[in-house]
Structure 1
Amino acid sequence: MNIPPSSQPSTEMEILSVLFTSITTTLLLLFIPFSALILRIFTGKSINNPKYHPVLGTAFHQLFHFSTLYDYQTRVGKTHPTFRLLGPDQSDIYTTDTRNIEYILKTNFDKYSKGKQNQDIVTDLFGKGIFAVDGEKWRHQRKLASYEFSTRVLRDFSCAVFRRNAAKLVRSVSEFSVAKQAFDIQDLLMRCTLDSIFKVGFGVDLNCLEGSSKEGSAFIKAFDDSNALVYWRYVDPLWKLKRFLNIGCEASLKKNITFIDDFVHSLIRTKRKQLEMQQDCNDKEDILSRFLVESKKDPEEMNDKYLRDIILNFMIAGKDTTANTLSWFFYMLSKNPLIQEKIAQEVRDVISSSQGNEISIDEFVTNITDEKLDKMQYLHAALTETLRLYPAVPVDGRVAETDDTLPDGFKLKKGDGVYYTAYAMGRMSYIWGDDAEDFRPERWLNNGVFQPESPFKFVSFHAGLRICLGKDFAYRQMKIMSTALLQFFQFKLADDMKNVTYRTMFTLHIDGGLNLHAVPRTNFGM
């Protein structure tokens, strides 16, 4: 049957019409929420009001610069010590001004908190641990942790663990050295510090450094990836939707956290059973055993979930910060061989001068006492200088609970975040002088004796009422490990031309690791 020409569809025109309508509708659907978001960002922020900090962009600028975020903050900080980035609900103030930092961390401490947005972002990983909470929960954990870190039992036990694992680390490096192979020192250090924190924290020999714990290696990867994925939430406006739909990076995060939770809860159950069999032993060495004993006083509050959160917060403090700092430390020593040799000479002068050229690893680490470590002023200065330039936590901060005025004279509104950029601060000439970007341990010494700076200027261990309780604990571990390594090896970069940078996350990891060669300094027995 023939169809009259007048009734035949204009196929091309109809397709174009449908396509145009579809595109228009899609653009409209995208334009409406985008416009609403832009309106929320710029409304009520007092943008042109000179009483508030200068606006240098929106929160999306952090997304654009995410892979080099801390260097972006450094570039801006050199011309604007304090500036604002606008977010949908509040302004985020970034500062290198030591007056502002002292104000929010000490002088007006009670008017600043972690803030709901920060807690929403980190809770899945850190739960209600000490780094994520305020108020009574923070005070309770702080009090418990303060007591534990002050005990002689924990100090002696941890030092023994650090020395033993330092010996294992030297043996691991020796295998690469003998084979003349490059190795990733960050990976070895991560494994070593994980072994240490598991022994000190849980009383468990993980043996991750020796490669016998595949589950331990999987834990490192899951924990580090979770660290990075949670940090990504700060620049991902759709993270809550992704979490609800369990897609993309949020699906990966959920899988990692499930593995971490199962791993830690298994440890808690095992430790409970061990304690039930050792009820007559009151002198508990590891932190988990001591917290489990404490939990009996309030089992409803200090349940396994709460203990899990406490443990993971100790984990990031005890594993990431130390291993990251030592990784950057050996990077700087490889870039500055004269400084490396000066520290190695101090090691020989203080610890091994009376032991001859041949010494066993175990004999050497046994001689690393607190008294001798205290004499190593240049090593302490070099580690501190590393932390100045490569702080373990590159950005941290608080949120205003009320309207306020900072010491720099600018106002804040309730809900505004105030973040101090420790990485950027270490590179500011108006804080550290014209040689701020140089690695110079001597800046910390006066007639050969280490001289500390104000914690509001050197903020690598936080400051004020929340200053790091494990500061001495961390220095002790870093000194023992670096002393052992520098006694037996000289370190060189495997590739002088490779660009060494960081992975943007809560802690300052070296992106892709750090490959080194280790050249033996002396003969030694295994």
Structure 2
Amino acid sequence: MLSITTFILLGILGLFLYLLVKYPDKSIGTNERPDLVGPRGLPIIGNLIGIYLKGFTNFNYENLTKYGPNATSTSLGFGRLIAINDPECIEYVMKTNFENYIKPNLLKEALNDVLGDEKCGDSNENWRAIYLTQKIFVKLFEEDTKKLLNIMEAKVQSGETFDLQQLFFRFTLDTFLKITFGLDKNSFADPEEPVRFAMAFDSVQATIDGRFLNPFWKFTEIFSEGGRKMRANCKYLSEFAYKIIKKRRNDPKALKNPKDILNIFMNAKLEDGQYLTDKELRDIILNLIIAGRDTTAQTLSWMMYNVMVNPAIEQKMVNEINTLLSNEKPIPKYEDVKQFEFVQATLYETLRLHPSVPGSVKYCLGNDVLPNGTPVNAGELVIMSAWAMGRDERIWGADAKIFDPERFIKDKNGLKPSQYKFVSFNCGPRLCLGQNFATIEFMTLTTSLLRKYQFEIMPGQKSPPDFGNSVTLPMKDPLLVKVYRRN
């Protein structure tokens, strides 16, 4: 007679053979979609290996380039994914039928221990309060810009090579901790000294990115060193936020002064008349710091790289900057910022090719049909790749991969491009509420720096740079430069 062990093994083998036949080129649980095109997957796991080796951004870019404007794939842990790269379809998913496409649970779970439930930060009234007080924050930008200019002057004197991206990260960290919490970390004091807060943030974002490539992350993180580090960093970030919130609650006088974003949200009420809890405040604050600190520093880094390798664009920026700034007025005022048309076009061109958030994903609740006739079934995931859209010749023309800020000035929509074509600030009801805020910070720093200093990229670095593993789009390696005083 066959043993129980043998029966179990035969059962497992039978199940495996059944799954092999049922899912010969796609992941478990996915239906056939002969109406869609995309890369053939492996039995049972689908395209999981390709996604893991290339990362979601490059994987979807390659598929949309080859099969677009729609391309499908499957992956164990995610099911069927439908990447879309058509502005009309983007508008349909993100606006017209917005209620049918929600944030998938797998994304919420991957982000929850870091970002929590950020929905309580969506109140338009809260953001309106931030908008009305942004002139206060612009003065903080000016103060930190002066500090950065002093650091640049020191580096001119020393002639040293340094990592420009890391310096930008320290600048935006200082600025956003001040704006958000009223804190002055003064990480500029010693640019070589590691910043615990920044290190924790960078580490958890790299781990989150890895979760999107590993359907078994909940299990593997229990035992791995990376999982232990993730738990420790999340604990540190939460305690950091809670400590500041508690201190503010115990200081009624400080709480009445709307000098930072924490106060605005602590004094705000929800629709039911209740104040935000400490947990809700913690979630909002950590979301804001990631959104402000990381995306701005990364955009500055990508912009400076493109300026350094395009001297004609740099000269045009400098010519425009010199029409408004001078030794007597080295830093622009709030009302000056929008007058720098070409500098703003350079910002948009940077974001077109190097979007701060390279992609997003939505879960389809009910069977639907996109405007171009593509059916989307309930339970399938829709992927929107800002990285792929910015390089798509069908959207931007034959020169889509060329860095050319003039395209925004010559375009009929100018510096107000369609948010469903230029998706770097997201779109529809989820359009980035901090867009104006980030633009002001970017323009303030960029114009002040380029008026006085010229940067030289050091040889031996990959061009263009690779991007690193993160929720956002940092450069993978340091951006090594030297800085000189402009003649």
Instruction: Give your verdict on TM over 0.5.
Output: yes
One-letter amino acid of the structure 2 residue matched with residue 315 of structure 1 = I
**What is the alpha-carbon distance in structure 1 between the residues aligned to residue 90 and residue 271 of structure 2?**
37
Which of the numbers 54, 66, 90 marks the counterpart of 1:79?
66
CA deviations on 1:126-185 (whole Å, 9 max, x unpaired) are 10014xxxxxx4xx633244323331xx21111001111111111112211211111111
Task: Report if the CA contact (8 A) 1:112-1:401 is conserved.
Answer: yes
Q: Note if 1:270 corresponds to 2:242.
A: no
Deviations along 1:31-64, one digit per CA (max 9) or x if unpaired, are 78977886675455333532x4545432332102
Tell me what 1:171 maps to. Answer: 150
> Structure 1 residues 458, 123: CA separation in 2 closer, same or farther (over 3 Å shift)?
same
Q: Is the 8 A contact 1:351 1:372 kept in 2?
A: no
Query: For residue 4 of structure 1, what is the aligned residue in structure 2?
Result: none
Does structure 1 residue 126 correspond to structure 2 residue 115?
yes
Whole-angstrom distance in 1 between the partners of 2:206 and 2:118: 18
Question: Structure 1 residues 370, 278: closer, same or farther in 2, change over 3 A?
Answer: closer
Q: How far apart are the structure 2 equivalents of 1:405 and 1:266? A: 49
After superposition, the Cα gap between the structure-2 partners of 1:28 and 1:240, relative to the gap in structure 1 and judged at 3 Å, is: farther
Question: Is residue 478 of structure 2 the alignment partner of residue 478 of structure 1?
Answer: no
Offset, 1:397: 2.5
Cα pair 1:53 1:410 within 8 Å, conserved: no
Q: Give, in whole Å, the separation in 1 of the partners of 2:268 and 2:11.
A: 55
TM-score by length of 2: 0.89
CA separation of 1:237 and 1:36: change in aligned 2, threshold 3 A:
farther
Partner of 2:135: 156
Structure 1's 378 and 37: CA in aligned 2 closer, same or farther, altered over 3 A? farther
Trace 1:126-275 onto structure 2 (pairs within 5 A): 126-130=115-119, 137=120, 141-151=122-132, 154-211=133-190, 217-243=195-221, 245-274=222-251
Matches within 5 A, 1:377-416: 377-416=341-380
Give the aligned partner of residue 471 of structure 2. Answer: 506
Instruction: Give the distance between the partners of 1:379 and 1:71, measured in 2 at CA.
Output: 29
Secondary structure at 1:318 match in 2: helix
- 1:45 aligns to 2:30 (yes or no): yes
Task: Using the TM superposition, give the Cα deviation of residue 286 of structure 1 relative to its aligned residue in structure 2, in angstroms.
Answer: 0.6
In 2: Cα distance, 1:155 partner to 1:325 partner? 20
Contact 1:77 1:424 in 2 (8 A): yes
Distance of aligned partners of 1:503 and 1:301 in 2 relative to their CA distance in 1, 3 Å threshold: same
Structure 2 unaligned segments of length 5 or more: list them: 1-5, 42-46
Name the SS of the counterpart of 1:209 in structure 2.
helix
Q: 1:424 aligns with which of 388, 395, 416?
A: 388
Secondary structure of 1:92's match? Answer: strand
**Which residue pairs with 1:454 in the alignment?**
418
| Aligned-pair CA distance for 1:119 | 0.8
Bigger Cα Rg: 1
Q: Matched residues in 2 for 1:219 and 1:92: separation?
A: 35
Contact 1:347 1:483 survives alignment (8 Å)? yes
How far, CA to CA, are the matches of 1:271 and 1:515 in structure 2? 40
Distance 1:110 1:340, change over 3 A: same
Query: What does residue 13 of structure 1 align with?
Result: none
**Contact 1:377/1:449 (CA < 8 Å) preserved in 2?**
no
Please state whether the residue corresponding to 1:223 is helix, strand or coil: helix
Amino acid at match of 2:199: K
Please tell me whether residue 516 in structure 1 is matched to residue 471 in structure 2.
no
For 2:73, give the aligned amino acid.
Answer: L
Partner of 2:323: 349
SS state of the match for residue 363, structure 2? strand
Of 297-306 and 222-231, the range deviating more from structure 2? 297-306
Which residue is 1:92 aligned to? 81
Distance 2:369 2:185 in 1: 50
Q: Secondary structure at the match of 1:312?
A: helix
C-alpha displacement at 1:278, in angstroms? 4.0
Which residue number corresponds to residue 434 of structure 1? 398
Provide TM-score, normalisation by structure 1.
0.83
For the residue of structure 1 that corresponds to 2:383, the secondary structure is strand
1:318, CA displacement in angstroms?
0.8
Instruction: Please list the CA deviations of residues 398-454 of structure 1 after superposition, one character each: whole Å capped at 9, or x if unmatched.
Output: 111111111221211212111111111111111101100000011011399943221
Percent identical pairs in the alignment equals 29
Mapped contact 1:129–1:312 kept (Cα < 8 A): no
Change (3 A) 1:505 1:30: farther
Q: Distance in 1 between matches of 2:237 and 2:19?
A: 35
SS at match of 1:235: coil
Amino acid in structure 2 at the alignment position of 1:326: L
Q: CA deviation at 1:381?
A: 0.4
Find the aligned partners of 2:473 and 2:212 in 1 and give their Cα distance: 16
- Which sections of structure 1, spanning at least 5 residues, go unmatched? 1-23, 131-136
Partners of 2:302 and 2:350 within 8 A in 1: yes
CA pair 397-141 structure 1, distance change in 2 beyond 3 A: same
Q: Distance in 1 between matches of 2:140 and 2:102?
A: 36
Equivalent position of 1:323 in the other structure: 297
Q: Deviations over 1:356-412 (max 9, x none)?
A: xxx5xxx522xx123322211000000100000000000113111111111221211
One-letter amino acid of the structure 2 residue matched with residue 110 of structure 1: E
Q: Deviations over 1:456-480 (max 9, x none)?
A: 1100000001100111111100000
* Equivalent residue number for residue 44 of structure 2: none
Cα pair distance change 1:31/1:379, threshold 3 Å: farther
Change (3 A) 1:270 1:346: same
Please name the residue that 1:110 is paired with: 99
Question: How many residues in Structure 1 have an aligned counterpart in Structure 2?
Answer: 472
Q: What residue is the counterpart of 1:15 in the other structure?
A: none
Q: Is the 1:121–1:234 Cα contact (8 Å) retained in structure 2?
A: yes
Structure 1 match to 2:3: none
Is the CA contact (8 Å cut-off) linking 2:356 and 2:424 kept in structure 1? Answer: yes
Tell me: CA distance 1:452–1:296, structure 2 relative to 1, closer, same or farther (3 Å): closer
Distance 2:458 2:61 in 1: 28
Partners of 1:330 and 1:248 lie apart in 2 by: 36
Cross-structure match for 1:11: none
